[in-house]
A and B are shown apart, each in its own frame.
Chain A
Amino acid sequence: MVPLRPQPAAFVPDAAIALVARFKGSRTYVHSTDLLAALESEACRRLGSGAWVSHLTIRRQVGHAVDAWFGPREDAFGSFRAKGQSGELGGWLVESSRPITRRVPYDEDALLGHVQFEGDTARLPEAVDGFTRHEQMVTLWKALATRQVPGPWTVAQIDLDRPLPALGPLDVHYPRTIDGRLKLGVLSQNGLVLGRCRAFWLTRTSPEA
């Protein structure tokens, strides 16, 4: 089954771009925040500055370089959409056969040290230097899920209503948990909802289980 249909307004058929070819820290899979950064860069190039990734789905972890395709692919492991001033675009994420040889430092513990927990909410009171807002967002979601139920949580779907603000606090909470291993997360700033995520308890390597 082809993943969530992107339905892009600015459709570019049969085109693909090399997207991500690096690992973060000690990981052996491509991190969602690297996909978000690469897709946002591509969205800004095609749709103008200020464009953002409005949707990202990752159905399994991948250990090879990732390509973005702008036409349907049955072998896609994920999909994306982006929005900008000049329109929208969408496409599919495909794991290539190219090995990843580049690794970049990533001290997530340093970021986790800034996370504050209060009730059922996790918060970063300010933007944290040295980390992208995408990294801060995903770390918050994983930190709260792990605090609630320790385990191998992963973020499988992200939907953003607007670009992430560069400054100010970020708050996350999980208003809905299904079957103990699927969580709907909400991201907000000062009460304004910025977006949502689907977090999964990884039983194997993907939500395919």
Chain B
Amino acid sequence: MSDPTTPGELTVKPPVTPRSLVPVFEALESGLDIDQLLRGISFREAGLDSLDIFNLVLAVESAAGLKIPDEDLGELRDLPALASYLDRRLS
């Protein structure tokens, strides 16, 4: 599944850290404060709505080459949790 609005040229490989995911967020051009996300503020608190999170999931799936099941979405509340999840899935 390719999508020109997601950073298809980016790749995410283990070890996945919050900082290693910064290019994915920057490519989304959402205007987010990346430093806040690195400090662990939740995506919702940072101002992401459902559309942002949808685009984030698609971007991460494209960059990591995996599909995130619906039942796992709940644990992806912030950048550290997302990095930890991806590291676990990719390792």
Binding site for B on A (CB under 8 A): 1-5, 7, 55, 57, 59, 156-157, 159, 161, 175-176, 178-180, 182, 184, 196, 198, 200, 206-209
Contact = CB atoms under 8 A, between A and B. Distances in A.
A200 B52 CA distance: 12
6 contacts: A1-B47, A156-B51, A159-B4, A175-B1, A179-B70, A207-B50
Count chain A CB atoms within 10 A of each CB in B1, B5, B30 and give the residue with the most.
B5
Main secondary structure of the interface of B (DSSP, over half): loop
Interface residues of B, number: 22
B57 interface: yes
Count chain B CB atoms within 10 A of each CB in A1, A7, A59, A180 and give the residue with the most.
A1
Given A4-B30, A176-B58, A178-B57, A208 B1 contact: no
Contacts of B50: 182, 200, 207-209
Contacts of B30: 1, 3-5
Given A179-B73, A182-B50, A208-B49, A5 B29 contact: yes
A156 B46 CA distance: 20
Contacts of B54: 178, 182, 184, 198, 200, 207
A178 B49 CA distance: 14
